[in-house]
Structure 1
Amino acid sequence: MPFDPHTTPLSAEEARVLATLLEKSRTVPDSYPLTLNSLASGCNQKTSRDPVMQLGEGQIQEALDNLRRRSLVTEIGGARTSRWEHNFPRGVGVPDQSAVLLGLLMLRGPQTAGELRINSERWHRFADISSVEAFLDELQSRSQEKGGPLVILLPRAPGAREPRWAHLLCGPVDAQALSAASAAGAAPAPDTALTERVAALEAQVAQLRDTLAHVCEQLGVEPPCA
């Protein structure tokens, strides 16, 4: 039966855990599937997260157990410790490109199609903004037989150049409230070149952090705070 966020929505913790597994499967495949400790580091990152969260291992384990019951994650037993992997595209019933967009929306909050294209660079390279919009439109027009829409286009905020998209995996959202919140916290729109440079630097920092966490895990030491 397809995943229906309107009848069985994800909690904020479940969404963060699921999206983090999806992110790390694409950005650091050498250290994937993830241990509980690595997953905690990814969930609690201070960068590329909106909102920033501080989840304990107990909360993450509970979220994993709930996601496993919905066939959205799988536990892989190892000689030393268990590891976890997502089953996002099949479990939700979407193609990989759509799963990437949903994962970014869960991790970073509402974004424009242009922002999604830039932020997805390490996950999947979309040809252009039109291809991003095509997948978003498909997610928005998803039939009720498949579980209903998974994204919503928010009203354009005053002064904003483009409207933002939000996911519906945690259930219905107040589009007006989200749009107003985005407008209240919005800074003047940066030029595209600067945005791309900042996104590239953030990607490099995130990759270095993931590599450090992997090395610390192999050495059996605690990684520094994210």
Structure 2
Amino acid sequence: MRPLSPIEARVLGTLMEKARTVPDSYPLSLNAVVAGCNQKSSRDPAMNLSEAEVQGALDELKRLALAVESSGSRVARWEHNFQRAYGVPDQSAALLGLLMLRGPQTAGELRINAERWHRFADISSVEAFLVELEERSDDKGGRLVVRLPRAPGAREQRWAHLLSGPVGAPTEEPPAADPARAGAAAPAGLQARLDALESDVAQLREIVQALQEQLGLSRLGHPG
């Protein structure tokens, strides 16, 4: 399996996320994948991808057997095939999906952010799956995560995925000086509400699009 480009990783992570958070709207249309990739919350870094960029990534993921295109609808729909392609359990897939969407995180952050994907009993269980991914043997494809050097002033090490190739040493930055990092440390309840709101909007968009298809109307345009 070749390293994924940043756009391919974002598209794949979005498919993995929506399969768990909005199952009623899954598989996803191209419009829904674009909206999920370009979310302002729960994404690091933020992206502003076009339909053409997302479609190109979906085609590549399909070629790599990481995404599947569904038929039987007027609009093509997409779903991921991550666990089967990489041979990892659901818990590991959830952690890798979160790392693709949100960037490097500590085990504690991963446990909180995984609440709507998979409920881990405690941080130790998260760490156990991360270590398993870190020690993955070469005959299974090699390791999929790496521990990053502890940043100055940080108590915990962060983890990063290796699906897009080797990860360089992080630039030195005081944890509290980065507004994006500070926002990531917001109360889990508030972040969960923001995530739920965005999922509801995506689901409503899917419902409207399905109604338009049934009524023979043109599909929804790309959201601004």
SS at the partner of 1:152? strand
Distance change (3 Å), C-alpha of 1:134 and 1:86: same
1:119 aligns with 2:119: no
1:102 aligns with 2:96: yes
SS at the partner of 2:146? strand
1:199 aligns with 2:191: yes
What is the Cα deviation at residue 200 of structure 1?
Answer: 2.4
Within 5 Å, give how 1:77-156 maps onto structure 2.
77-156=71-150
Aligned to 1:58: 52
The 1-side partners of 2:85 and 2:131 are apart by: 20
The 2-side partners of 1:182 and 1:64 are apart by: 36
The 1-side partners of 2:12 and 2:183 are apart by: 32
Distance change (3 Å), C-alpha of 1:188 and 1:121: closer
What is the Cα deviation at residue 59 of structure 1?
Answer: 1.0
Aligned to 2:170: 177
Give the TM-score normalised by structure 2: 0.88
CA RMSD of aligned residues (A): 2.0
Deviations 1:27-69 (A, max 9, x none): 0000000111111111111111101111111111111111111
Aligned to 1:32: 26
Aligned to 2:216: none
Of 201, 204, 214, 1:212 maps to 204
The 2-side partners of 1:17 and 1:154 are apart by: 24
Tell me the percent identity.
Answer: 60
Q: Which moved more, 1:17-26 or 1:208-217?
A: 208-217
Q: Match for 1:158: what amino acid?
A: P
Distance change (3 Å), C-alpha of 1:182 and 1:224: farther
Aligned to 1:21: 15
Equivalent residue pairs, number: 214
What is the Cα deviation at residue 210 of structure 1?
Answer: 2.2
Q: Match for 2:187: what amino acid?
A: T
Distance change (3 Å), C-alpha of 1:145 and 1:181: farther
Deviations 1:167-208 (A, max 9, x none): 11000010x225x25746244995xxx632223222322232
Deviations 1:102-161 (A, max 9, x none): 000000001010110110111111111110000000000111111111111111111112
**Structure 2 residues without counterparts, runs of 5 or longer:** 213-219
The 2-side partners of 1:209 and 1:223 are apart by: 14
The 2-side partners of 1:187 and 1:115 are apart by: 13
Q: Match for 2:161: what amino acid?
A: H
